[in-house]
Amino acid sequence: MCKIKLLHCADIHIGAELSYIGNKSKQRREEILMTFDKIVSICGEENIQLLLIAGDLFQSSNMDKDIVSSVKKSLKKIPNTIVAIAPGNHDYISIDSFYLDEDWPENVHIFKSELEFIEFKELGLRLWGAGFTSSYITSSMLSSAESINNFQDNMVNICIIHGDLISENQTSNYNPISVSQLKSSGMDYVALGHIHKRTEILKAGNTYYAYSGCCEGEGFDELGEKGVIMGTVMKTMCSLEFCPICKRMNLELRVDISGTNTNNEAAEIVLNAIKNYEKSLHTKSEMLKQVQQTSSESIPVIEPLQYSKHLYKIILEGALDANFKLDCQAIAARLESEVFFIKINDETHIEIDMDSLTKESSLKGIFARKMMDKINKSINIGNNTDANKYRKALYIGLKAFERDII
């Protein structure tokens, strides 16, 4: 039976501006390109037959020539791997698209518009794909398939497409694809791109499908491990696994600094929280190793990265003395040399002696009394959502009395 060894990746966004990390953005942009090169090397080392790049390989349809030629050169290094590219909404095929260049290596196949297929008889593979021709595609490109059911043979049908997985009757500007369309597609595997958060390997009817997610988190809305999907696909069967390959992770940690009196102390608590978080990652990896040792397939175990390599968004919380002037920038400055990037947000509140405060006849006392009334009333009728909302308003209000609020 034909068995295709593949690597599925998507949404690499080469060339993305990463202004949120300031002067580190240039380095990070280069690292994204390095991660792409790493994917190419894995294809060579692991004898991958099919590399699927499911859209938004580049940040835009108008890229610097040097970057495009670096990608072309890289792909030329794996002549034995079939490379399939399905352009997405970011790198769609425009009139002067670099995807229309004639000097892409011979092993690279770019899908340039509606769904079509290429057959690789020697591999028993029928490769399907479609590409964005503008930023928006409002009707599904998958439904325009020439009925795959005409092909009653033993070839493995794999499809690569950039699009938005929607519930039935929902709409999307980014090639809406529904589960029922996947189910009736007749494909053995559909490699999806567009959603940066990966999914498990899912199944609709006899069709397996997945989003590999992006390869490097490019913001604090793209947290945790990022990577590719690797494994084998056969007729109506697949053995695919997520493999993390990211150079760094974007992580968000909530750290309680209640009772802290100095920024130095707060910085130490944050650093400890970061180190403890890394320990928990190691434990997870150890457990994964044990599972993999008992499994028949050999999957490369990737060690978790060192905490210092990552990008952190730290949210400080807890109760602080009113006289302590918390300085997030000072804390970040203390930790800048410890990690690749750190950003600190303040969600702490002032430690308050409510009993004496609500007895004060000052404006602050009246405010506290009124807010406490609202909180207690909400608690009495069991409305915790409102109680929390008023509590938050009370803390923000009290902060305004104590410190400057922007």
Residues interacting with Mn ion, by CB under 5 A? 56, 88-89, 194
- Which residues contact residue 372 at a Cβ distance below 8 angstroms, ignoring those fewer than 6 apart? 354, 358, 394
Which parts of 24-101 fold into alpha helices (H)? 25-45, 65-76
Number of CB atoms found within 10 A of residue 138's CB: 10
Nearer to Mn ion, 186 or 213 (CB): 213
Position with the least CB separation from Mn ion: 194
Q: Tell which residue, 202, 188, 180, has the closest CA to residue 160.
A: 188
Report the residue number, 89 or 263, with the smaller CB distance to Mn ion. 89
Q: What is the DSSP letter of 19?
A: G
Instruction: Please report how close the Cβ of residue 173 comes to Mn ion at its closest, in angstroms.
Output: 11
CB under 8 Å to 289, separation ≥6 — which residues?
301
Compare residues 11 and 188 and give the one whose CB is closer to Mn ion.
11
In the block, residue with structure tokens 């996947």? 182
Report, in Å, the least distance between residue 193 CB and Mn ion. Answer: 7
The token pair at 123 is 């591999």
Q: How far is the CB of 142 from Mn ion (least distance, A)?
A: 16
Q: How far is the CB of 162 from Mn ion (least distance, A)?
A: 6
Q: How far is the CB of 64 from Mn ion (least distance, A)?
A: 20
Nearer residue to Mn ion within complex by CB, 88 or 176: 88
Pairing label, strands 82-85, 50-53: parallel
Specify the residue, 174 or 189, whose C-beta has the smaller distance to Mn ion.
174
Spatial strand order of the sheet with 202-204 comes to 116-120, 125-129, 156-162, 189-193, 207-211, 202-204
| Minimum distance of Mn ion from residue 187's CB (angstroms) | 20
**Neighbouring residues of 48: CB distance < 8 A, sequence distance ≥ 6:** 5, 6, 7, 42, 78, 81, 230
Nearer to Mn ion, 25 or 60 (CB): 60
